[in-house]
Structure 1
Amino acid sequence: MSAGRDRKYYMVGGKGGVGKTSLSSSLAVKFAMNGHPTLLVSTDPAHSLSDSLAQDVTGGVPVCVDGTDAQLYAMEVDPNQAKEEFAAFAKQTDMSQGAKDFMGSVGLGGLADQLGDLKLGELLDTPPPGLDEAIAISKVVQFIKDEKYAKFTRIVFDTAPTGHTLRLLSLPDFLDKSIGKIVRLRQKLTSATDAVKGLFGVDDGKQDEAVAKLEKLKAQLQEVKDLFRNEKTTEFVIVTIPTVLGISESGRLLSSLEKEKVPTRRLVVNQIGAVTKDAQTAVNFCAVKAKDQRRAMEMLDEDAGLRGLRRIEAPLFDMEIRGVPALQFMAGQVWTE
């Protein structure tokens, strides 16, 4: 994973509570210690990256992580803020019933119906799940094009739990179509009479600006979609724990990733308890736990998709993994080729 100096993206995701943040942080520390200028980004609305690193990385801009010789930077992106920014701008494209009636009276009823069919009010007042993270990731992609941050050769995303990730994967295609329709309709309105233009309550210049902003958003989402599917630069790492629920959800996640053509080659099974026979005899709880874990691991061998991934087994540590030294120790135990 550390081979080569070309930029690579790693997206770490899975069921909530399986240790995604600790594993993504330890992977980023590993890259940094191997000489890669690395950027670690959390797009999970429930951030815990600052807790994992034992350092405040809030604020939406890269912060140099102490103890990494300035090789590792980290940031928490606020997806909700991105969603609010989009919703505030996008409300301009909606139409009132009075505007539709007027358009009908001047022979443009068909266009008004098309606008109504888009249900823009619903889309923009309550953006679809996944939009916040998609915009957050697109912001990061745009951000790292800045010359100041072009040095990063490894970028690790600590993503939101599985359900959110699945919605995110299908979102770019959905929004690409929706925004495309909005742009085309806005362009039609631009060529209509001055009275119809006024229905949006903006002048020609502002309408052109609105179309330009939508086109820019569309292009950014397309960039995110292309990034997800790039075999050479991107890998999605699935994280699970040895439980029936965790393994089952991982199987569904892999199927969705394959459907969306997102490169997936590794599965990390976290929190595996190393229980000896003596401990199993002495402590009934450990015996039951070990049995449950063995059954879950057997499920991995039985699952046609998951058994084809490179499996990484991460132990259950007897200490809290927090701060760079602990993350470096964890990386040495987990991220070995």
Structure 2
Amino acid sequence: MLNGVADGREVVFVGGKGGVGKTAVASALGLALARTGRRVLVVSTDPAHNLGHLWGRPVGDSVVELAPLLTGLEIDPARTTDEHLRAVRETMQRLMPEQVHGEVARHLELARDAPGTHEAAVLERIAEVLERRQPDQLVVVDTAPSGHTSRLVALPELMQAWTEGLLRRQDRSARFGAALRGLQRRGSGGRTPDAGERAAADVLGSPPRPGDGPSDRRGRRDAEIRAILDRRRARFADLRGLLQDPARSAFVIVLAAERLPVLESVELHGQLTRAGMQVGALVVNKRSPADAGDLLAARRRLEEGYVAQLAESLPGLPVTEVPLLPEEILGAEGLGRLAAYL
């Protein structure tokens, strides 16, 4: 049963090949746990959101109640990317001189569709959700199809390394700036900055203070950049630590008993393991019945071979098999029927 995967953990990711029922399993798991008295937030990161359709109510980028103790949230990658880039632009334009603001805006507009931009923005949003969750709340993340998911879980390490690289560059820049400020102080002898130095202050772009020289403004700007990068590094380090701690997080792979979903699930398991994340369970969804006519019985026999292949490729992992249900899975009633098998 999947309830054991959530025991004591803060976040459970649910992922797999597209079309295998990830959103339904994530929602049913959340509902089952909420009915035991645990507070649960289901978060969808799939651009093709089904959470609202599944529950029969609007679900967007603000938390909404789905059932008692169960809430839902859909992270819109496009909107999240827009907000992420806008925040970056505002920060850069505040710290950089006015004459380069246009260049900053053009650079960020080009970055909008660059590889990894959406994933980085979604990752920051997930980190924010996890930071703001209630102390006793479990977050169940309904992820996008496998390729997107594997990139997403590998990003915290990459982003942390990238940010640490920026910090090293910032440290070198700060040391150079400190040396330059020392030379300026010794050379100026306390006199009023001349026109050239005032022009340099404009280029440095920091807000003026009475009695400030360009070196003082540059020093404040360096300190603020350092603080921003430190916060970013801490956020990614915390998220990486959470994802790689098997006591705090786990991943559930959902699949169908078919050739391609089995192969893709084995590959996803390898990618998650290399990223340091524990796979807690497998859910084989929509299993054909063996006693409902020759067609479905033949289908069941075919599926048995793929289930055996899965067990051979990923030995030791708990496997939950969910039958093909006769009714459509919609709303709390339908999800409750699915939850009975989890």
TM-score for the superposition, normalised by structure 1 = 0.77
- Counterpart of 2:104 in structure 1 is none
Shift of 1:273: 0.8
Matching of residue 126 in structure 1 with residue 109 in structure 2 = no
- Counterpart of 1:330 in structure 2 is 338
Provide the C-alpha distance between the structure 2 equivalents of 1:27 and 1:158, rounded to a whole number of angstroms. 11
Provide the C-alpha distance between the structure 1 equivalents of 2:204 and 2:169, rounded to a whole number of angstroms. 12
> Cα 1:207–1:79, aligned 2, differ >3 Å: closer, same or farther?
farther
> Cα 1:251–1:312, aligned 2, differ >3 Å: closer, same or farther?
same
Matching of residue 52 in structure 1 with residue 54 in structure 2 = yes
- Counterpart of 1:116 in structure 2 is none
- Counterpart of 1:279 in structure 2 is 293
Provide the C-alpha distance between the structure 2 equivalents of 1:8 and 1:301, rounded to a whole number of angstroms. 27
Provide the C-alpha distance between the structure 2 equivalents of 1:5 and 1:163, rounded to a whole number of angstroms. 27
> Cα 1:313–1:5, aligned 2, differ >3 Å: closer, same or farther?
closer
> Cα 1:187–1:121, aligned 2, differ >3 Å: closer, same or farther?
farther
Contact 1:14 1:240 (C-alpha < 8 Å) held by counterparts: yes
C-alpha RMSD of the superposition: 3.2
5+ residue gaps in structure 1? 100-118
> Cα 1:7–1:295, aligned 2, differ >3 Å: closer, same or farther?
closer
Contact 1:43 1:136 (C-alpha < 8 Å) held by counterparts: no
2:323 to 292, 295, 315: 315
Shift of 1:125: 6.6
Contact 2:289 2:297 (C-alpha < 8 Å) held by counterparts: no
1:297 to 307, 317, 322: 307
- Counterpart of 1:163 in structure 2 is 147
Provide the C-alpha distance between the structure 1 equivalents of 2:201 and 2:148, rounded to a whole number of angstroms. 38
Shift of 1:323: 0.3
Matching of residue 141 in structure 1 with residue 130 in structure 2 = yes
Provide the C-alpha distance between the structure 1 equivalents of 2:258 and 2:7, rounded to a whole number of angstroms. 37
TM-score for the superposition, normalised by structure 2 = 0.76
> Cα 1:217–1:12, aligned 2, differ >3 Å: closer, same or farther?
same
Contact 2:283 2:319 (C-alpha < 8 Å) held by counterparts: yes
- Counterpart of 1:106 in structure 2 is none
1:183 to 167, 177, 187: 167
Moved more, 20-29 or 8-17: 8-17
> Cα 1:198–1:247, aligned 2, differ >3 Å: closer, same or farther?
farther
- Counterpart of 1:21 in structure 2 is 23
Contact 2:77 2:121 (C-alpha < 8 Å) held by counterparts: yes
Moved more, 293-302 or 306-315: 293-302
Contact 1:43 1:159 (C-alpha < 8 Å) held by counterparts: yes
SS of the equivalent of 2:38 reads coil
Moved more, 70-79 or 182-191: 182-191
What amino acid is the match of 1:271? K
Q: Alpha-carbon deviations, 1:173-224, whole Å to 9, x = none?
A: 2211222222333344452567778656555445543432332222212221
Contact 1:83 1:135 (C-alpha < 8 Å) held by counterparts: no
Q: Alpha-carbon deviations, 1:25-72, whole Å to 9, x = none?
A: 0000000111111111112222111111222221x232122xx3x311
Contact 2:252 2:280 (C-alpha < 8 Å) held by counterparts: yes
Shift of 1:290: 3.1
Contact 1:19 1:270 (C-alpha < 8 Å) held by counterparts: yes
Identity value in percent: 28
2:71 to 70, 73, 81: 73
Matching of residue 12 in structure 1 with residue 10 in structure 2 = no
Provide the C-alpha distance between the structure 2 equivalents of 1:2 and 1:186, rounded to a whole number of angstroms. 46
Moved more, 82-91 or 47-56: 82-91
Provide the C-alpha distance between the structure 1 equivalents of 2:54 and 2:131, rounded to a whole number of angstroms. 26
- Counterpart of 2:42 in structure 1 is 40
> Cα 1:323–1:171, aligned 2, differ >3 Å: closer, same or farther?
same
Matching of residue 64 in structure 1 with residue 65 in structure 2 = yes
5+ residue gaps in structure 2? 101-106, 182-196, 208-216
Matching of residue 233 in structure 1 with residue 248 in structure 2 = yes
What amino acid is the match of 1:138? A
Contact 1:87 1:127 (C-alpha < 8 Å) held by counterparts: no
Shift of 1:90: 4.2
Shift of 1:121: 9.6
> Which structure 1 residue ranges, 4+ long, deviate > 4 Å from structure 2?
1-7, 119-125, 192-203
What amino acid is the match of 2:309? M
SS of the equivalent of 1:45 reads coil
Contact 2:251 2:280 (C-alpha < 8 Å) held by counterparts: yes
What amino acid is the match of 1:62? V
Aligned residue pairs total 298
